[in-house]
């Protein structure tokens, strides 16, 4: 629930490829084997847990309580239909897409020019400004949620997606600026100089030369924001109060409370899958980029 301050999304830096030899020594081999087994078991439990939710979301409650492990003979997609319409996950899905995409686009659009001049222009107070913005990564949501909620309510943005997006952009800015500043700093200066000699304006240099060069970094920052905002729950809970404006997280929360009246666990898991699936799919497709960007981030 803090502003995202994960070490960095940034260009992938491929490590040296040579593989160190496997560790040797018979002593500890069995202990090592047990350790490996444990780590792999934890990994398996993660796949199993997530897979189990998907399978369960396709069962009827009767099937679930008859045997929690059994894979249903025919998938019951009506759980999804119910969650989507009656459970309000359909409307919430749209809200989540708007909030997540809108915020991620806006935050990168705001952060990129700022990061560009912060990393590549010379002016007094630059370091101070960089540090001041980076300090924003340390402001936890729990400190500011009451003033923010009061402020947004007083300008008519309480209980609205627009208000939520403003907050998302604000809390994600420090991290995004920080990461992109680091990224722009790694780009070569010669191209910039060459463009100036060719008569390009400073804005033109940024727009036509640097921005395209920075695309991998922008993309990584964008995706990190997408994933982070997709799973954001606290701010949505604080700000959104009526069902029509709910994002998926709060819609699932309200479903969790109200499905209690029906004891409809499989319907609840269908809602869980609706919430979880986009993030998991994006992750599976891009997992290497993720892991590598953390590799890069931890370098600092």
Q: Which of residues 48-67 bind other proteins (CB under 8 A)?
A: 49-50, 52-53, 65
Q: For residue 9, state whether it binds other proteins (rule: CB under 8 A).
A: no
Q: For residue 131, state whether it binds other proteins (rule: CB under 8 A).
A: no
Stretch that binds other proteins, among 33-41, 70-78, 97-105, 209-217 (CB under 8 A): 33-41
Closest CA to 115 of 217, 225, 223: 217
Compute φ and ψ for 2, nearest 5 degrees: -80, 165
Q: For residue 93, state whether it binds other proteins (rule: CB under 8 A).
A: no
* The token pair that represents 271 in the structure block: 């809602």
Give me the residues paired with residue 140 across strands. Answer: 2
Stretch that binds other proteins, among 73-81, 97-105, 166-174, 214-222 (CB under 8 A): 166-174
Stretch that binds other proteins, among 73-81, 97-105, 211-219, 246-254 (CB under 8 A): 246-254
Q: For residue 217, state whether it binds other proteins (rule: CB under 8 A).
A: no
**Long-range contacts of residues 198-206, Cβ cutoff 8 Å, at least 24 apart:** 206/113, 206/116
Q: At what angle do helices 215-230 and 89-120 cross, to 10 degrees?
A: 140
Nearest distance in Å: CB 97, other proteins: 14
Nearest distance in Å: CB 153, other proteins: 5
Cβ proximity of 191 and 211 under 8 Å: no
- Alpha carbon dihedral 116, 102, 251, 52, in 10-degree steps, equals -70
Q: For residue 204, state whether it binds other proteins (rule: CB under 8 A).
A: no
Nearest distance in Å: CB 137, other proteins: 9
Q: For residue 92, state whether it binds other proteins (rule: CB under 8 A).
A: no
Q: For residue 45, state whether it binds other proteins (rule: CB under 8 A).
A: yes
Question: Quick one: DSSP state of residue 262?
Answer: T
Out of 91, 104, 166, 270, name the contact with other proteins by CB under 8 A: 166
Nearest distance in Å: CB 24, other proteins: 6
Nearest distance in Å: CB 36, other proteins: 5
Cβ proximity of 255 and 82 under 8 Å: no
Q: For residue 134, state whether it binds other proteins (rule: CB under 8 A).
A: no
Q: For residue 198, state whether it binds other proteins (rule: CB under 8 A).
A: no
- The Cα–Cα gap between 183 and 141 comes to 27
Q: For residue 114, state whether it binds other proteins (rule: CB under 8 A).
A: yes
Out of 41, 71, 77, 86, name the contact with other proteins by CB under 8 A: 86
Nearest distance in Å: CB 41, other proteins: 11
Cβ proximity of 279 and 224 under 8 Å: no
Kindly tell me which of 36 and 208 has the beta carbon lying closer to other proteins. Answer: 36
- Considering only residues 261 through 280, tell me which ones interact with other proteins, judged by CB under 8 A: 261-263, 265, 268-269, 272, 275-276, 279-280
In the chain, which residue ranges form alpha helices assigned H by DSSP?
A: 29-56, 61-66, 78-85, 89-120, 126-135, 141-154, 161-185, 190-197, 202-204, 211-213, 215-230, 234-239, 248-258, 265-297
């Amino acid at each position: 629930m803090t502003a995202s301050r994960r070490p960095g999304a940034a260009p992938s830096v491929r490590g040296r490829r040579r593989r160190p030899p496997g560790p040797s020594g018979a002593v500890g081999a069995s202990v090592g084997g047990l350790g490996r087994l444990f780590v792999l078991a934890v990994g398996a439990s993660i796949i199993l847990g997530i897979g189990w939710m998907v399978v369960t979301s396709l069962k009827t409650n009767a099937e679930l309580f008859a045997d929690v492990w059994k894979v249903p003979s025919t998938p019951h997609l009506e759980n999804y239909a119910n969650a989507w319409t009656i459970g309000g996950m359909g409307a919430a899905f749209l809200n989540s897409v708007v909030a997540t995409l809108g915020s991620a686009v806006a935050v990168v659009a705001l952060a990129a020019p700022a990061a560009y001049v912060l990393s590549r222009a010379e002016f007094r107070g630059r370091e101070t400004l960089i540090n001041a913005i980076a300090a924003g990564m340390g402001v936890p949501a729990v400190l500011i949620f009451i003033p923010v909620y009061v402020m947004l309510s007083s300008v008519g943005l309480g209980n609205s997606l627009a208000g939520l997006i403003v907050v998302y952009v604000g809390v994600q800015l420090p991290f995004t600026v920080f990461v992109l500043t680091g990224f722009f700093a790694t780009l070569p200066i010669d191209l910039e100089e060459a463009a100036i000699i060719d008569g390009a304006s400073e804005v033109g240099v940024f727009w036509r030369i640097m921005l395209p060069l920075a695309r991998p970094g922008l993309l990584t920052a964008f995706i990190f924001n997408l994933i982070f905002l997709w799973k954001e729950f606290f701010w949505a809970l604080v700000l959104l109060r009526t069902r029509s404006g709910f994002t998926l997280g709060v819609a699932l929360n309200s479903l969790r409370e109200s499905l209690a009246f029906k004891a409809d666990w499989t319907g609840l898991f269908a809602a869980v899958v609706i919430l979880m699936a986009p993030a998991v799919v994006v992750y599976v497709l891009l997992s290497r980029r993720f892991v590598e960007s953390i590799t890069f981030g931890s370098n600092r």
